[in-house]
Structure 1
Amino acid sequence: MESVKNQEQLLSERFEVAYNQVHDALRGLVKINDDRFVVLVKVGAKRYQVIETFKKDLEQYAKLRNAIVHEKIEVGFYIAEPNEKVVIHIEKIANILSQPNYALSIASKDVVYFDDRDKILKVTSAIKDHGYSKFPVYQNNKCIGLLTSSSIVKWLARNMKNGSVNLANIRIFDIMKFEKAHPIDFVSKEINIFEVENIFEKSHKKKQKLECVIITENGRPEEKPLGIVTPWDLIEIDYTVE
């Protein structure tokens, strides 16, 4: 009987520890003046997909936590007990929020990029081989923007004669003249998923469409791209835990 009681107490203690870890992580992520758990969850769910994924669970866990902590009859005696499945689940959530993956883990890593002096035929081959539609372009070893397949089509439309165009001597800088500016950002490989989400969120608040975030060694445009994160990459993150 005593071992059962100790096991129940251990589950309650584990739940409290995990709950507090989640609370601390929410404070660090959401960063508002209201410190209440449920408020942090509500506000955070609008900013971060991961919090939205666990929103209903966290709201229920807040109620359970109140029952566990505020309705104690005496030290070490809990009026409500979480079951093991609940404890394991909130511990997994705490781990995800407290130790987020690096953004590089969700980035497209086989980055195809070009120098602006490269021939455009090199780009069309890459489109055929990889199916990509956007490519970082470098000038003097510094990223100067993105080349998109749509700008190539626009250039072709303007330069086509009698239904054809000779691309043999056309270089990327010829096409870049027709390329509109695409907002991009550069971050170091140490940045985590939540920080990248925040970058896109800030851009959205400014009513700017951030095309992508390019990950480099130290977050500088002069460095080789290690990965690219687009808004679509964030949407496809699977935060669910069994």
Structure 2
Amino acid sequence: MGKTKVELTLSERFETAFNRIHKILKETVKQADTDKFTELVYKGHNHVLIRHYKDDLCQFAKLRNAIVHEKIDIDYYIAEPHLDVVEEIERIAAEFEEPRTGLSISSKEVYYFYEDDRVKDVLSCMKKTGHTRFPIYTNEDKYSWLLTTREIISWLTNQFDNPKIDLNQVKVKELYKKDEKEVVFVSQHATVFEIEDIYDDEKKDKIEAVIITATGKETEKPNGIITSRDLLEVALAEE
């Protein structure tokens, strides 16, 4: 019969937690071309959680090497880490195994409109909420495009000298402007790790926002929106 958690030595608890973190690092750090713990930590700098705990993780790697290299046999260690260190690495391992979801850091109050809605209503929403991005849907309830303040300001500027403009009559679809910006849909269970990977790929400069829906389908209404600015704010808060 194996040992229970209560019966594990501090060294065994430390190594178990270390291996849990190592497993998550190998799953999370994409295209690292290595499975070495410390190298994964440095290559995973784009992930705020890894970056936040970088120094701790590197110290854990040094301690782990010292402990493992001083094993007499598979169940016997000469060195024993301090209880505080063991409890800290176990806490961090738990945090790595259950990272925050993207929904937890997103703008949860999402206001969306239909293509045949009035621009005036969008402007009223902007004034009331301060929001700057609005998913636009077709009358068939399918996502069409993302309206941002950039398009709104550009359109209003072009209409500045038009005395006949009536915002009560202008529909949202008249503001559509095709550009290279993209929107990515993810489910409400997507982790911050996954959102960071989306913004870190080769098309990151083309991504306007990540829209969160129940299962990540474009036919579902948005539960949250994440921009690169949201990720930056999380990073600044963590550091």
Runs (5+) with no aligned partner, structure 2: 1-5
In structure 2, the CA distance between the partners of 1:116 and 1:18, relative to structure 1 (3 Å rule), is: same
**What amino acid sits opposite 1:198 in the alignment?**
D
8 Å Cα contact 1:156/1:165 also seen in 2: no
Give 1:159 deviation, angstroms: 1.5
1:184 aligns with 2:168: no
**What amino acid sits opposite 1:237 in the alignment?**
V
- Alignment RMSD: 2.5
1:229 aligns with 2:221: no
Alignment partners' CA distance in 2, 1:72 and 1:181 = 57
Match of residue 3 from structure 2: none
The TM-score normalised by the length of structure 1 is 0.86
Match of residue 21 from structure 2: 22
Alignment partners' CA distance in 2, 1:93 and 1:138 = 41
Q: Which whole-Å deviations, capped at 9, do the CAs of 1:46-77 have from their partners, x for residues lacking one?
A: x3111111111111110101111111345655
The TM-score normalised by the length of structure 2 is 0.87
Match of residue 156 from structure 2: 156
Q: Where in structure 2 are the equivalents of 1:119-198 lying within 5 Å?
A: 119-139=118-138, 140-161=140-161, 165-176=165-176, 178=177, 180-198=179-197
Between the two proteins, the alignment pairs up a number of residues equal to 231
Alignment partners' CA distance in 2, 1:110 and 1:207 = 24
Match of residue 63 from structure 1: 62
In structure 2, the CA distance between the partners of 1:230 and 1:223, relative to structure 1 (3 Å rule), is: same
**What amino acid sits opposite 2:54 in the alignment?**
K
8 Å Cα contact 2:132/2:148 also seen in 1: yes
SS of match in other structure, 2:205: coil
Identity %: 42
State which drifts further: 215-224 or 156-165. 156-165
